[in-house]
Amino acid sequence: MKLKILHLYPKEMNLYGDHGNILTLVKRCEWRGIRAEVIAHEPGEPIPNDVDIIFGGGGQDSNQNTIEDDLRKIAPKLKELVEADVPTLVVCGLYQLFGAYFQTAEGHKIDGINILDLYTVAGKNRLIGNVVIDTEDFGEIVGYENHSGLTRLGQNVKPLGTISKGYGNNGDDELEGARYHNCIGTYLHGPILPKNPRLADYLIAKALERQAGKPIKLEHLNDTAENRAHKVAATRPQ
């Protein structure tokens, strides 16, 4: 078995250790005897047709400006892949740009690619700290947020989870992240996947299921270290 993982803008969008999500996916595949090939996409390059997982991280507003034109060019292909249920994880900056738009504090509107039914407007204050959210499918998820964007969800997405610690999408509706098909958007850095192995395995399992055309039960891994890291993160003050 082999999975192709598309890493969007690894140079521009790699804030707070987001590259660790790629490392987690690769290692959890390797530990199960699954080959994992990482395809890095930078501005000006084409998008492969046959990717199995898509990941994109966060970046500063200036980095979002850098990738804006290229992201718009590859948007039709990304939409096609998401609509075809390719498992996708986008964090912070790319989470925002998968929506309708991100409006900066200066009033500049960066157009998104409308894969996720949401929009983001920069707030006056940054939302910073440790986060714990409760989810229906993945149990408790932990992470770290640092963003000024205030994200509002539309009717065609559902939240990743509800906040029990932290601010989440906007600091007032107690929601964090967004889900559409097998696409997940979130503000959680840290990176998110090493301390939340159930979420990592969801992406891997969905990718394998698309290949096989049937449900897949992943080989069990010893997640003692991952669960210990999760527990420590969950007990940290906000």
DSSP per-residue codes, 77-144: HHHHHHHTT--EEEETHHHHHTSSEEE-TTS-EEE---SSSEEEEEEEEEEEEEEEEEETTTEEEEEE
Q: For residue 51, which of 7, 16, 9 has the smallest C-alpha distance?
A: 7
Q: Domain count for the chain, please give it.
A: 1
Span 1-20, pLDDT tens digits: 899 999 999 988 887 788 99
Helix (H) or strand (E) holding 229: helix 224-235
Measured between alpha carbons, how far is 30 from 146 in angstroms, rounded to an integer? 31
Residue 183: active-site member: no
Across 214-227, average pLDDT: 96
**Helices 19-30 & 197-212 angle (0-180, nearest 10):** 60
pLDDT band at 60; cut points 50, 70, 90: low
- What are residue 146's DSSP bridge partners? 128
pLDDT value at 51 more than 90: yes
Query: Which of 92, 147, 183, 230 is flagged as catalytic?
Result: 92
Mean pLDDT of 106-116: 92
Q: Tell me the CA distances in angstroms from 171 to 128, 149, 176, 200, one per residue in order.
A: 10, 10, 9, 26
Provide the whole-model pTM.
Answer: 0.96
* Sequence-distant (≥ 6) Cβ neighbours of residue 85 within 8 angstroms: 181, 182, 206, 210
Count Cβ atoms below 10 Å from residue 164 Cβ, excluding itself.
14
Q: What is the CATH number of the domain that holds 223?
A: 3.40.50.880
Q: Is the peptide bond before 197 cis (omega within 30 degrees of 0)?
A: no
Provide the residue range defining the domain that includes 98: 2-235
Residue 61 has pLDDT above 80, yes or no: no
CA angle 177, 180, 183 (to 5 degrees): 75
At residue 194, does pLDDT exceed 70? yes
Residue indicated by tokens 């690769």: 26
Mean pLDDT of the chain: 94
Q: Which helix (H) or strand (E) holds 186?
A: strand 183-186
29 catalytic? Reply is no
Residue 117 has a pLDDT of 98
The Cβ of residue 1 has, within 10 Å, a number of other Cβ atoms equal to: 13
Is the pLDDT score of 66 beyond 80?
A: no
- Work out the average pLDDT over 221-225: 97
CB atoms within 10 A of CB 17: 15
